[in-house]
Amino acid sequence: METLKKYFTPGVLAASFLARAAYALYTGNSFIFPDEGVYHSLARSMQASADWGGLFHNREPLYPALIWVTYNVTGPFPLAVKLLQAALSTAAVYLLYRTATGLFGRGAGRLALLAAAFYPFTIFYDARLLRESLLVFLGVAALYFALKPGGTPRNTAAASAIAGIAVMAKTIFLFYWLPVLLAGLVFRKLKPAAALAGAAAFLAAVSPLLIYNYSHTGKAFLTRGQLHNVYVPIVLDMDIPGSPGENEALLAIPHYKAGMALPEAERDAYFKPLILEEIRLRPGNFARRCVWRFLKLWRPYPHKGMNYEAGSWALLAAVSLLSDGWLIPLGFWAAFALRRRIGELYPVYIYVLSFTLIYSLSWSQIRYRLPLMPALLLLAAPLLSRAAGRAGLNFFKEGNTC
């Protein structure tokens, strides 16, 4: 038993990295998603010219910059980025283990470690030139510091700085950080000094992008030109997204075609009144579609009849049901079961709720929930540990501090 205790954590972490690296090596430098080619081309453009101009007025810069740095070190080999992502995901697994151990005991931490280490969809997306792996790492790292006891200025600043860096990868983290800071004050988990330290750290993290955009446009903003992602789901037939005829259907929408023909800087001003008008005229339609996007985000298996570059629908459905099929309902049940600890766990609740709300209001797909799955696993860990104790698995039982 002592040998198991000594080598369990490093052994699982090593196996986790090896599994991710092996799959990344299997995929090599190949792409299967169109967005992978976009990121690769963007990083190559950054290498070709020091004048990046307006590259980052309409997209978050962190992930392209990560690829650019990697390419500068290794050459333009996507495999190098994939192996880096495997390392980042393994680090996220370790941080999740530390977080679960601190909150619920070592038994729960070991179960969280084991489940996260071999969660199939993080292994899959580590081998794709997409930002999901980076978002998972940053989300877990922000939660790790936000959930540390005491609400010290140092931990609050660290969590806020990481959240600010995450905003540079995907703006949606902005809608997580501010409620967390306010909730910390409401629950009296943060003192004003800690909240101010967090605000300063967050502003320091996002200010380079604000300054960059202001210097090029005369306006301070994080990103723009994305409101078409709110307009399209309101008017597009709900069966179209992901289908082979999606692009043709989009171009058949007169306002979409006209708006996308505008310069990117003018698109938000064009689509905003259209969105408000749609909501005013058809509030029931908007509400129904928000519910539909919520269900689409959290459905435990992919929709049949779509084109899936990753493989056959039957295989994806089987893997999904064997992983998300139990983790999603257990995670939501755990959120209810642990409701009395909300004053301690509020960063996790806000993390899941803020992302879910934004995706329900705009655009959702199963892939977008990947950064949220570690949070559900964290909540589920004490329930799994309790069940392990009842089953006589003392190594994983609730309250195990060995």
Please give the chain's pLDDT, 402 residues, in tens: 677 778 899 999 999 999 999 999 999 999 998 899 999 999 999 998 877 767 777 789 999 999 999 999 999 999 999 999 999 999 999 999 999 999 999 999 999 999 999 999 999 999 999 999 999 999 999 999 999 998 899 999 999 999 999 999 999 999 999 999 999 999 999 999 999 999 999 999 999 888 888 888 888 888 888 888 889 889 888 777 766 677 788 888 999 899 999 988 889 999 999 999 999 999 999 999 999 999 999 999 887 755 666 667 788 889 999 999 999 999 999 999 999 999 999 999 999 999 999 999 988 888 999 999 999 999 999 999 999 989 888 888 866 655
CB burial of residue 213 (10 Å; 0-12, 13-18, 19+): buried
CA Rg value for the chain: 22
Report yes or no: 135 and 370 within 8 Å, Cβ to Cβ.
Answer: yes
Report yes or no: 19 and 123 within 8 Å, Cβ to Cβ.
Answer: yes
CB burial of residue 387 (10 Å; 0-12, 13-18, 19+): middle
Q: How far apart are the first and last CA of the chain?
A: 10
Concatenating the DSSP letter of every residue in 185-247 gives HHTT-S-HHHHHHHHHHHHHHHHHHHHHHHHHHSS--S--S-THHHHHHHHS-TT-TTSTTHH
Q: What is the pTM of this model?
A: 0.93
The whole-angstrom separation of Cα 222 and Cα 168 is: 8
Closest to 81 (Cα-Cα) out of 120, 157, 27, 117: 27
